[in-house]
Structure 1
């Protein structure tokens, strides 16, 4: 059985990377570890209330759970398990310890810019993955454009332009 590490920004779109992993290894049963990088709080009082489950729940988008269920239904024959873990380290040594602890030998990563790590409390883990995981498969995935969000942004942008022209 193969364990595959996949970075996630907890968006439904990030699960396309897992789908690519199932396509790469169609005849294998796979354990999928979705890793979400997270900076630990700086204050001890914040650490007292630290909860990985709560952080994952708060940071995932509203479609993530449904997309994960759809992925499981589609590839149920190939899935041993699929779960999400926080990585709270800061360097490649910490990530290597994380990798060894989870017995990961394979990772699937997307091209730069596919995942959105724009939150202040997160960062892009792809470089750490490439440095520490022995077998890394890179995939190029097209990013879906949310037309409603794009229209809202363009509408807001047009409004701002009108205000500044006046």
Structure 2
């Protein structure tokens, strides 16, 4: 039976180390992965009328990030059934709990020492998750060891 896990991301390659470590620690064989990005929701009517989550995600994805996803899919090809993106909007604990319930998330994995480096409108959802009643696991790796996205990509190959 497959489980569904959630990983908060900032669209930097290094944030995907949480996924790599989660896959190494998971006992479940098949996994559906939800990569969650948190962003402020604009108040303007025009912005809300033309709201498109796919465009928001596409605007933040880089070639390096996509390549890192591809590396992880190949590395864990027999275990990762799917990888999807979800955008969270809100600053309330109840909203994050409802979000997790609606996405049917089984496990949440958070980086322990890595600080998400959110883009302009983004915000770090980890404090909300920690304040909630949600069960989560923190995974740690040595953050900031690789100073370029290319070196971080290479690090995804290392166990």
**Which of the pair has the greater relative contact order for Cα pairs under 8 Å at 6+ separation?**
2
> TM-score, normalization: structure 1?
0.80
RMSD (Å), alpha carbons? 1.8
Q: Does 1:129 find its partner at 2:100?
A: no
- Number of the residue aligned with 1:162: none
* Structure 1 consecutive aligned stretches of length 4 or more whose deviation exceeds 4 Å: none
Q: Indicate how the Cα distance of structure 1 residues 69 and 98 shifts in structure 2: closer, same or farther if over 3 A, else same.
A: same
* Richer in helix (by share): 1
Give the number of the structure whose alpha-carbon radius of gyration is greater: 1
Deviates more, 1:15-24 or 1:138-147: 138-147
Following the alignment from structure 1 to structure 2, what is the Cα–Cα distance between the partners of residues 59 and 106? 25
Q: Indicate how the Cα distance of structure 1 residues 78 and 121 shifts in structure 2: closer, same or farther if over 3 A, else same.
A: same
Deviates more, 1:58-67 or 1:15-24: 58-67
How far apart are 1:27 and its partner, in Å?
4.8
> TM-score, normalization: structure 2?
0.84
Structural mapping, 1:30-69, within 5 Å: 30-69=31-70
Following the alignment from structure 1 to structure 2, what is the Cα–Cα distance between the partners of residues 27 and 139? 17
Secondary structure of 2:86's match? strand
How far apart are 1:94 and its partner, in Å?
0.8
Size of the aligned set, in residue pairs, is 147
Q: Indicate how the Cα distance of structure 1 residues 25 and 98 shifts in structure 2: closer, same or farther if over 3 A, else same.
A: same
Unaligned runs of 5+ in 2: 150-159
Secondary structure of 1:100's match? helix
Q: Indicate how the Cα distance of structure 1 residues 80 and 115 shifts in structure 2: closer, same or farther if over 3 A, else same.
A: same
